[in-house]
Structure 1
Amino acid sequence: MGIVVEVVNLILSIIQTIGYPGIFGLMLLEGMLLPIPSEVVMLFGGYLVVSGGLPAYMNVPAFALLVLAGTLGNLVGAYIAYAIGRYGGIPLIMKFGKYVALDEKSVRRTEEWFRKYGPASVFFTRLVPVFRTFISIPAGIGEMDLKKFLGLSFAGSLIWDIVLVYLGMKLGRSWEVAVNFFDKYTYVAVVAAVLVILYIAYTKYRSLRRGAGN
């Protein structure tokens, strides 16, 4: 628990000290699957907007600057995670995936799910805590069209950030209440994300081996 508090305090310190560049950097790290909670970053940022901690710049409102910094940071991080999945993620993921029992029926269902709902899942999972960042790896492994991936990631992240910033502005000093609400779904999201990544990685791995055997 002490480590979590220290991480949160570090995040708040970075935002207060560096401002928008700090928010961009933190959200980039979150997009790369590092344990940086966007809920803390953007909710606290929303609070700073109404308290005057984040100023407007060149007549652009602080709200817009905050959302833009967070969304672009997430998009860059998502692209990096996508590239890891597409160009080098399979061997690493399969190294750990072999310790998980995957039956043929489950693998087939996952393959069909990603082929049918892959693009839509990138958008909708951007609205789910934790899972929103993990989806970049299976999208890369599945070689999803990059432009479509970036477009859907941007749209989903934009909505997510707007909601968080708005809540932070409305809650003010009580912004942490919303963080506790989102935390309720964290463990379920992590388990789901890991399973999806392993299933898609295994499916891709089987496909490559099948192709090599022909």
Structure 2
Amino acid sequence: MSILHQLGDVAIHWINSIGYWGILLGMILESACIPIPSEVIMPFGGYLVLTGHLNILGVILIGTVGNILGSLIAYAIGYWGGKRFINRFGKYVFLSKKHLDSAEKWFDKRGEITVFVSRILPAIRTFISLPAGVARMNLVKFLTYTAIGSLIWSGILTYVGYALGKNWQNIQNILHPITYLVAVIVLVILVFLIVKVLKSKKVSA
């Protein structure tokens, strides 16, 4: 059994034991970059709505609040530790102050759409808060778009869990191909950006 499945089982145990508080704890940890899958937490919450143990509005809202709190933790880590880390160790992984400045400009211009879209994508959504913090994105904008994206994500997963009933775990089979697709898209974008940077260096040399 993989670590993700084990953590998913832990989350289910929490929800069975303490209900909404289990959902809150799981979603906080998930958004704080601990790999507890929301694809387990929220659909299971939706299933418990179907069985009459929880309220659908309560599940969606508590999941959203958990996401916001966890994202704040990751944002704070990036904000307070990311810049220092890059300034001190960035040269070993080919990151410089110039790259940090570029990231800050990116989040100044496109941070809203970046955070919003990332919050409703598998895999990426868990980690977007760290670079947003490192780039020192405006906190009000970060929280606003994190909240909107998280509400949509929590709502979709809860409804799917409710609709699937006892088969709520099938959502993981649906989302796994999407996760791989997103990973491939991100890889292609990264390669494109690296090639673009290398070409610009050759031109300026």
TM-score range, shorter chain: 0.7 to 0.9
Instruction: Indicate yes or no: 2:29 matched with 1:29.
Output: yes
Distance 1:108 1:73 in 2: 30
Equivalent residues in 2 for 1:56-75, closer than 5 Å: 62-75=55-68
Distance 1:117 1:155 in 2: 16
What is the Cα deviation at residue 79 of structure 1?
A: 0.8
Query: Do the aligned residues in 2 keep the contact of 1:16 with 1:53 (CA within 8 Å)?
Result: no
Which range is displaced more, 156-165 or 175-184?
175-184
Number of residue pairs the alignment of both structures matches: 187
- Equivalent residue for 1:160? 153
Code of the aligned partner of 1:27: M
- Cα deviation per residue 1:126-184 (whole Å; 9 max; x = unaligned)? 00012112111111111111111101100000000000001010010111111121122
- Equivalent residue for 2:126? 133
What is the Cα deviation at residue 43 of structure 1?
A: 0.6
Code of the aligned partner of 1:13: H
- Cα deviation per residue 1:20-44 (whole Å; 9 max; x = unaligned)? 0110011000110100111100011
Query: Do the aligned residues in 2 keep the contact of 1:47 with 1:172 (CA within 8 Å)?
Result: yes
Code of the aligned partner of 1:74: N
What is the Cα deviation at residue 108 of structure 1?
A: 9.4
Q: Work out the percentage of aligned pairs sharing the same amino acid.
A: 45
Equivalent residues in 2 for 1:64-143, closer than 5 Å: 64-92=57-85, 98=91, 100=93, 113-143=106-136
TM-score (norm 2): 0.79
- Equivalent residue for 1:40? 40
- Equivalent residue for 1:169? 162
Distance 1:94 1:34 in 2: 25
Code of the aligned partner of 2:5: V
- Equivalent residue for 1:206? none
- Equivalent residue for 1:17? 17
What is the Cα deviation at residue 6 of structure 1?
A: 2.5
- Equivalent residue for 1:185? 178
Q: 1 or 2, which has the higher helix percentage?
A: 2
- Equivalent residue for 2:199? none
Secondary structure of residue in 2 paired with 1:35 = coil
- Cα deviation per residue 1:82-127 (whole Å; 9 max; x = unaligned)? 111111123446777545457xxx9998676444321211111100
**5+ long unaligned stretches in structure 2:** 194-205
Distance 2:181 2:126 in 1: 14
